[in-house]
Each structure stands twice: as C-alpha cells, then as structure tokens.
Amino acid sequence: MLIALALLAASLSAAPPAPTPPKGSPAALDVEKKLRDGKLDEAIDKGRAAIKAAPDDVDLRLATARALGAKARQLTRTLNVKVTQEDLKKGSIKVPKSGGEGPVEIGYDGALLDEALGHLDHAITLAPKREDLRVFQCYLLTDSSRIDAAKTAITGALAALPKTPDLAKTMIAYGAEREKHHDTLGSVALMTPVAAAFPKEAAIQADYGNALTRLGRKQEAYAALDKALAAAPADLRFARTKAAAAMLLRDFHVAQKAWESVHQASRQDADAVAAATAAYGIDPKASVALFNELATPSPSAQQAVLDLAQQFSAAGTAGPGSEAAMSLAKKLLADGQDLLAIPVLDRAMRSPKTAAKAKSTLVKLYDDFGCPELAKLVK
C-alpha cells in the first residue's frame, strides 16, 4: 500500500527507437559495417573520403555522422576516493575499483561533434523529411547537452514530419532523457514544443506536467495534466499523476479533491488514505474523522491501512507539532511513502517546536527526489 513518488519519477511515454542503420550506397554500407565492427577511425576515414566524391549522398552523410558521434562521445565515471593526511605523507593513494559505482558524466569532443552535426545539417537540407536524420540529430544534441540547439532541432522535426503517435513518443523522450541527468530545466525546454504539437496525447501531456511540477511551475503543470485527463478520462494513471503533483506542490486542497475523485473510481484503500492525508495537510484535527473511519475494522480492511490510519488519527489529535506527528513522518519516510510524509512535514513546519527539523527533512525529501527547485520553495 505505497503511494510513491515514483508516479512522478519516470516518463509515461515510450523510449525513442534506436536509430535505424543507413541504407543505400555501397560506401554508406561500408562505413556502417566498420562502425558496427568498432572500427571507428576506419569508418570516419572512409566516410570523409567518400563524401568528397559524393557530397550529396544522404545515407553516406548519416553513416559518417554516426561514426563521428560514436568517436566523439566520452564517458567518465567519478570515483569517491577518500584520502587521509597519512596517505599524502606516504605518497600512496589507493584508488578503488569502479565496480559500476559513481556518477557517469557524458562529454563530447567538440570538433568531432561539430563535424557530425555538419553532415546531418547537409543531409537534412537534401532530405528534410527523412525521420532517421532528424532523430539522430536530436539525439546528438540532447546527449551532448546542447539544449537550445536540441530544442530547435526538435521543433524543426515536428514541423517537417507527419505528426504520428510514434513521432510524439520519440520526441518527448529527449526531454525525459534530460530528466535522467537531473536537468529539469533542459527537460522542460525540450518537452515544450512536443507538448504544443500533441495537445491531445495524454502521455505526452503527463510527462510535460511532471517536469513542470518538478520546477514548481504549478499553473502550467496543472494545465498540462488537465489536458492529459481530458484526453484519457478513464485512465487512472493520469488522474493519480495530477493528484500526486498537487501533493508534491503542497497544494492540498487540489490534492484532496483529486485523490477523492480517484478513489471514487478505484475504490482502493491507498487512494482513500492519500485523500485523507491531503486533508491532514489542510487541517490535521479535521482529518481525524476521516482517519477514524479508515481505522474501523472491516472484513476487507488491510491491517497496514488500519495501522496507518490510527497513526494519522493520533498525530491529528496530538497536533502537527507533536512527537506523534514527527514520529509518523519518520516512519513514512522509512517505509518509502514520501508523498504521504509531505503534508505531515508541511504542517509540522508551522509549529515552533518542530519547525526547524520538519523544514530540513522536507528539503532533503525534495533534494533526494531530484526537485531542488521545490526544495527552494520550502519556507
């Protein structure tokens, strides 16, 4: 019975398809084969030479750009190496095995990247409606963190290509990719033209609304999430996404109404608990009646729900600055129910006794979830 922040953690749209291999001329196919074999230098040399002889071979330009992009892409992993004063004196520092640990940073050789993009620009001029050219251009610019250029490329692709559901999924995924790198500003920038081009694609609007939520842009987020609901009113995924967004934004009146609407359709205990928790964020004492009802044993009641309702009821009765309330928040966080902890911490911040601890805990919750802009709004 988890109401998890995972509702806002992942893209609801599919990931973009892998670029399709080039076709056409023997030269293009030869470059592609060398690329597949990992012979990047040979592929690049072959492509450069062949382009001089056939500058308007679109498939050759794409194959060469792919080889250059692969050569340009560089991954570095940051290792956490602890160095003591004694280590420095001895002149010996033990570097741990990476073991797949530590953040990975993606970098690009600027000259090779520019050369690859130049080939793509030329190819797109010759074949503006080739989706494979547009997709690879968007990928390179997104992956190399050239966000302004990526947005321009996405906008150009949307203008040139048929607006199919598959194209929508492909284009929104670039913004979702930036989210994986904790670049919510970049994510929103890349999603904006896609959301504008596909106003009735529910998953697109939900992804866009999620990203806007992370930035604290409440009204824009609600507008996108309402479009998702309008496009798929029977799909409770989108109704729960709107409710979770309101909770994350600490807009508890909207959250309560949204969770109540979800519960009316789902009849699931988790949704009823979420609605009552949003009510706690509005008025802890008034929410006690709701939790007492949820705490009433019945043949279908889950013990976890009964226990949680009793704890909320006790916190509401004791007051938001009570030890019972802070213990409840701590337990919710330990159980991975961060979303339910937000109203408890929000109310605890209003009590002088618990304000400092509640504030620091809520800031950490937002930071851990990758929402630094929401953390800044905690006052």
Q: What is the pLDDT of residues 319-358, one digit of tens each?
A: 999 999 999 999 999 999 999 999 999 999 999 999 999 9
Do residues 44 and 32 touch, judged by C-beta distance below 8 A? no
Alpha carbon distance 316, 302 (integer Å): 21
pLDDT (tens digit per residue) in 200-259: 999 999 999 999 999 999 999 999 999 999 999 999 999 999 999 999 999 999 999 999
Contact 22, 255 (CB under 8 A): no
What pLDDT does 105 receive? 81
Q: Is the pTM of this model over 0.75?
A: yes
Query: To the nearest whole percent, how much of the chain has pLDDT over 90?
Result: 82
Confidence of residue 102 (pLDDT cuts 50, 70, 90): low
pLDDT of 317 reads 97
Residue 76 has a pLDDT of 72
Residue 5 has pLDDT above 60, yes or no: no
Distances (CA, A) of 30 to 89, 91, 97, 209: 55, 50, 38, 44
Instruction: Read off the pLDDT band of 262 (50, 70, 90).
Output: very high
What are 44-89's pLDDT values in tens digits?
A: 999 999 999 999 999 999 999 999 999 999 987 555 555 565 655 5
pLDDT tens profile 354-371: 999 999 999 999 999 889
Q: What is the mean pLDDT of the chain?
A: 90
Q: What is the DSSP letter of 281?
A: H
Residue 7 has pLDDT above 60, yes or no: no
pLDDT, tens digit (0-9, with 9 covering 90-100), for 124-135: 999 999 999 999
Token pair 């990203």 is found at 211
Domains annotated on the chain, with CATH:
22-72+110-117 (no CATH), 128-234 (1.25.40.10), 259-379 (no CATH)
pLDDT of residue 379: 86
What pLDDT sits at residue 153? 98
Asked if residue 26 has pLDDT above 90, the reply is yes
Residue 17 has pLDDT above 80, yes or no: no
pLDDT of residue 236: 96
**Amino acid 81: pLDDT:** 53
Contact 60/54 with Cβ under 8 angstroms? yes
**Rounded mean pLDDT, 164-193:** 95
Q: Decide: 225 and 245 in contact? Cβ < 8 Å.
A: yes
152-173: b (≥16 Cβ within 10 Å) or e: ebbbbbbeebeeeeebbbbbbb
Q: Whole-angstrom Cα distance, residue 41 to residue 52?
A: 17
